[in-house]
Amino acid sequence: MTQVAIIYFSGYGHTVKQAEAVATGAAGVNDVTVTTIRIPDTGDISDADWDALAAADAIIYGSPTYMGGAAWQFKKFADQTSKHWLAGTFKDKVAGGFTNSATVNGDKGSTINYFFTLSQQLGQIWIGTGLLPSNQKEHGPEHVNWTGGFAGALAISPADASPEEAPRSGDLETARLLGERIAAYASRTRLAA
């Protein structure tokens, strides 16, 4: 079986929805098992979580964008991957990422770029959404990749929207498609490793 791990932080529950959509997409691929790890408020994950990451064929990173970057709890996790950097544990694993924030644009790209930078130090192979954007006048938040991310899946949750209201359907479908693409790629290339 191909193992896909999703590791993410969520402050208020909106990013949970996005992570679930990514997981749904990945789990729908044949011969794929998905492990989802929600980083706790302390930023520390368990030994079992680290083992799951070490065993994964693909790792998908997620966080809300807070003050222009991934939440500090995610960064605490990232700083702790340094031992895996030196040991090469994550090398050649597939990587991808997603982020959510209240503002339409609002530095989401900065968070995705950080995930990419981290993945490259760890020696991973990055795969984005591979989606064209929905960028015509008639398009809105109910359309796939209206928010318009290429390197990763982006979502908008307005500041006064509950996790039941946002991310909206287009962003969730974008997240699902990212999970599906990464899992399919990891599955297809694993046998070639």
Residues that bind a copy of itself (CB under 8 A): 43, 66-73, 75-76, 78-79, 81-82, 85-86, 91-92, 102-110, 113-114, 116-118, 120-121, 123, 125-133, 135-137, 139, 146-151, 154, 158-161, 165, 185, 188-189, 191-193
Closer to a copy of itself by CB, 28 or 133: give it. Answer: 133
Number of residues in the chain: 193
The three-class DSSP label of residue 81 is: coil
Closer to a copy of itself by CB, 46 or 82: give it. Answer: 82
Taking the complex as a whole, the smallest distance from the CB of residue 121 to a copy of itself amounts, in Å, to 5
Taking the complex as a whole, the smallest distance from the CB of residue 187 to a copy of itself amounts, in Å, to 9
Closer to a copy of itself by CB, 47 or 192: give it. Answer: 192
Closer to a copy of itself by CB, 27 or 150: give it. Answer: 150
Query: DSSP characters for 11-70?
Result: SSSHHHHHHHHHHHHHHTSTTEEEEEEEPPTTS---HHHHHHHHH-SEEEEEEEEETTEE
Helix (H) or strand (E) holding 172: helix 169-190
Whole-number Å distance between alpha carbons of 68 and 102: 12
Taking the complex as a whole, the smallest distance from the CB of residue 171 to a copy of itself amounts, in Å, to 11
Closer to a copy of itself by CB, 171 or 176: give it. Answer: 171
Taking the complex as a whole, the smallest distance from the CB of residue 108 to a copy of itself amounts, in Å, to 6
Instruction: Tell me: cis bond preceding 167? Omega within 30 of 0 counts.
Output: yes
Taking the complex as a whole, the smallest distance from the CB of residue 157 to a copy of itself amounts, in Å, to 9
Say which residues have a Cβ less than 8 Å from residue 20's Cβ, sequence separation at least 6: 36
